[in-house]
Amino acid sequence: MAVVVLTSTKGSPGVSSTALGVALVWPRPVVLIEADPDGGGGLLAGHLRGTRNHDSGIIDVALAHGLGESAGEALDQALQPLTDRVRFLSGPAGPAQAAGVAEAWAPAGDYLRSLHHTGVDVIIDYGRASNSRATALLRSADLVLVVLGSDLPAVAAARAGLPTLLAEAGRGGAPVEALLIGPGRPYGSREIAAAIDLRIAANLPWNPRGAAVLSHGEPGNVNWRRYERSLRACADQIRTALRRSPVLERSGGQS
């Protein structure tokens, strides 16, 4: 079992879509957690196109925690099926609710760590790190991936935000690496790795029309099939990065 956090430092270039896409092609049972502090139910409103109600999620975990009840049990009950292998937890509805549920993320993280006994992996859409109220999840992670584009503004934003993120993630011992979207637009992996002083764990080619299937529920087409192949390659690269994680090794988990 492994816990992977996807985040960005500024101007997220598709953290939510990438987290969802990787979860959908992940080879093991997986739980997808929406912890984006900006909220808005991106999965429900985007990929699922509003076909499901926002009637359960992290708010249920927060209520249970506030009442002294089992947050883990509440989280398990709040998980919704997405496919036969993927379940997800809806995140806060907006920034105000993100502040209100902040205390629930610590017990939620403890429960997620316990899933290794059941052979379930966890992928967390952490959103923009600078706005997050869910820092406890970083301490539950086996791997933290900074998602960024390959242009100069994206690289500059990553460099500016990394010290704080590295400090928070370091409290749990999880390695911080990068997931590069659109390498070669215009800079390549080696140049960016040197500029931000992080290993590039995975790459995802630029394909906005394919990503729109995830972000906006657009119909699948040849762009989606190409994007899906890219997501599978990206998931394989993430699993390779997990095998390097000292946290995963200590916990006896598998990826």
**Beta carbons of 21 and 170 less than 8 angstroms apart:** no
Domains defined for the chain, CATH in brackets:
3-250 (3.40.50.300)
* Helix orientation angle between 208-215 and 222-242, rounded to the nearest 10 degrees: 80
Classify residue 178 by its DSSP letter.
Answer: E
Mean pLDDT (the chain, rounded): 87
**Beta carbons of 130 and 10 less than 8 angstroms apart:** yes
Side-chain-facing half-sphere of 178: CA atoms under 13 Å? 29
Distance CA 118, CA 96 (A): 34
Helix (H) or strand (E) holding 10: none
Q: Which pair of structure tokens corresponds to residue 116?
A: 């290794």
Rounded to an integer, the average pLDDT of 191-209 is: 95
Question: Can you give the pLDDT at residue 51?
Answer: 61
Read off the pLDDT of residues 37-88 as tens digits, 9 standing for 90 and up: 776 556 766 776 666 666 678 999 999 999 999 988 999 999 999 999 999 9
- Give the amino acid at 168: E
pTM over 0.85: yes
Residue 100 burial (CB count, 10 A)? 16
Give 241 or 217, the one with higher predicted confidence: 241
Rounded to an integer, the average pLDDT of 88-106 is: 86
**Beta carbons of 33 and 86 less than 8 angstroms apart:** no
Read off the pLDDT of residues 1-16 as tens digits, 9 standing for 90 and up: 799 999 998 765 689 9
